[in-house]
Amino acid sequence: MSRFGLKSLALVASLLVVSVACRFSSPTPVAWSGTSTAKVLGLTQTAAAPSATATHPPLPTETPPVPETTPRTDAAIPADGPWLIFPNENNTMLYALDRDTRELATLNLPPLVELGDLAVGIAPDSSSLVLRAGNLDTLENLGLYRVQNPVDPPELVSPLLADFVIKSIGERNDPQASFALQAVLQPNALAWKPNSQSVVFPAAIEGVAANLRAYQPASGKVTRLSVRYQQNFSPLWNPSGQTLLFQEVDTLNNPSAWKPYLVTSLNLGNPGNLYYLYKPPANSQAEVFVGWINNAQAVSYTLTEEGNRFVRVLNAASGGSPRVIYSGFFDEIAVDPDDGVIALAVGVDAARQNGVSPGIYLSNSALNAFGLVSVGTFSHLSYSQTEGSFFASGEIGLVSFSTNGLEFSLAGEAQASASPDGAWLVTWGGQGARLRTPDGTLLQEITSSSVSALVWQRDGKGFYLLLEDGLYHYTFPLLQGVLVCEDVSRTDETWFAWLGK
């Protein structure tokens, strides 16, 4: 599942000095009594995970008692990953947790520019992680870094600014240089091709305008994709990897302010075809790319001071004017990339501005109007390709719905995530976590402690839950929690990434 929205710029002081508060070997049982009121973050990371081929042993009918254990050393298991990458509690460094040995390493990177790069910087096949990092007070090491194995030092792929741009910023003799810095620091700045062969990022190397560049890990080659005088950023590949969607800010003709100027696409299947899709409205603070509903059409919306509005369908592959399919205000949006279905969560304030009832609204295609599916206030709206359903958290609990209407609702639940093979569904929230069948039928309680995030193993044989006292690892069939780290960030539930095949 995925959630869509803007992430604020996370400036980090240091990644080199850390006080580690993690347990490396001793299994710790989950606390099965008591409740808590931690804020529910609701991580859902299953949509893009590969399917598992293994089958799970039968589940016990009830939770077995936790046996006495001795510390495990795993001396015979090589620390070769895959690794779960996540920030520490203070967001000042990154950990790499080996799934098999449960050993923990730290990544020796400069301060990260944007921790949201964890969500977009991981290659689709998990072979590489690219991140923007550097000291923003000097800019001397500001660049794109690649991590392939946490044991090895990170590789500097490319600087984000040329030396003369850094000099102009320091001397303050060219406002365009400062705008170039702003462009390369924008959120959602990285875009991997679906085949994992290259990743696109913005950099101001040839001039004081940030242009898009592509890095190929296999060859180490970096090539320039766009040649523009505007500041280019926010790239997004279509499913085939032939069309690149991105945004531009014309700071040359508007040197007094950072203002969205164009939404553009580049069709690599027809070299040289650059399409100017639309100019954002005057009150646009940012244009947000939601995703693709097919190989040619993408969905975007405008972020204004008053809220989100103007949901558009873009003809990114062939150009032409976009179609505004919803002009009102809304809180959250999710799309079904297979069938082109779009869902909106319209809150109380947005509904008042629109003159409608708050609730979930659904359009079964980009051509049809939105219809009300369920009345109420909802959050954590997302779509699961594994389940083929939308999920949202509301006053009545967790609801699952599709174009056929409401499929089921579960009181007291806040989030749900299906295993990569679709065999299990885990629901969680402030009242703990539970294992269910895909249709929501309860199988067993996993923990009664408040859960704020869940991350599945890509093989579907286990998962991680973020509780109040740390990150716990659960594996089938017993699902007994082992505390693997206490020092974990709770700022954003998307700041987890699997590295290594």
Where do the structural domains in the chain lie, given as residue ranges?
83-499
Helices (H), 156-262: 163-171, 175-184
What would the mean pLDDT of 428-437 be, rounded to a whole number?
Answer: 97
C-alpha dihedral over 167, 169, 175, 178, to 10 degrees? 130
Q: How many C-beta neighbours within 10 Å does residue 254 have?
A: 13
Res. 272 pLDDT band, cuts 50 70 90: low
Instruction: Give bridge partners of residue 467 from the DSSP assignment.
Output: 451, 470
Share of the chain above pLDDT 90, in %: 76
Q: What is the DSSP letter of 385?
A: T
Assigned token pair, 349: 């304030």
Sheet containing strand 94-98, strands side by side: 104-106, 94-98, 83-87, 497-499
- Please tell me the predicted confidence (pLDDT) of residue 68: 33
pLDDT greater than 70 at residue 300: yes
pLDDT greater than 60 at residue 61: no
Assigned token pair, 320: 């032409």
Query: Which residue, 259, 211, 253, 204, is CA-closest to 235?
Result: 211
Q: What is the mean pLDDT of the chain?
A: 85
Asked if the 83-499 domain carries CATH number 1.10.3470, the reply is no
- DSSP E strand boundaries for 181-259: 191-192, 199-203, 211-216, 221-224, 231-237, 243-249
Q: How far apart are CA 107 and CA 93, in angstroms?
A: 7
Q: What amino acid is encoded at 490 in this protein?
A: R
Res. 332 pLDDT band, cuts 50 70 90: very high
What would the mean pLDDT of 183-189 be, rounded to a whole number?
Answer: 96
- Please tell me the predicted confidence (pLDDT) of residue 78: 54
pLDDT greater than 50 at residue 14: no
- Please tell me the predicted confidence (pLDDT) of residue 271: 63
Cis peptide before 477 (omega within 30 of 0): yes
Query: Which residue, 500, 427, 497, 495, is CA-closest to 90?
Result: 495
Q: How far apart are CA 416 and CA 457, in angstroms?
A: 15
Sheet containing strand 432-436, strands side by side: 415-418, 425-429, 432-436, 442-447
- Please tell me the predicted confidence (pLDDT) of residue 241: 95
pLDDT greater than 90 at residue 125: yes
- Please tell me the predicted confidence (pLDDT) of residue 53: 31
- Please tell me the predicted confidence (pLDDT) of residue 157: 98
Query: Which residue, 293, 190, 195, 291, is CA-closest to 240?
Result: 195
pLDDT greater than 60 at residue 207: yes
Assigned token pair, 379: 């959050």
**DSSP 3-state of 348:** helix
pLDDT greater than 70 at residue 380: yes
Q: What amino acid is encoded at 76 in this protein?
A: A
Instruction: Give bridge partners of residue 274 from the DSSP assignment.
Output: 266
Lookup result for tokens 């705008």: 179
pLDDT tens for 74-92 read 334 456 889 999 999 999 9
- Please tell me the predicted confidence (pLDDT) of residue 302: 98
- Please tell me the predicted confidence (pLDDT) of residue 32: 22
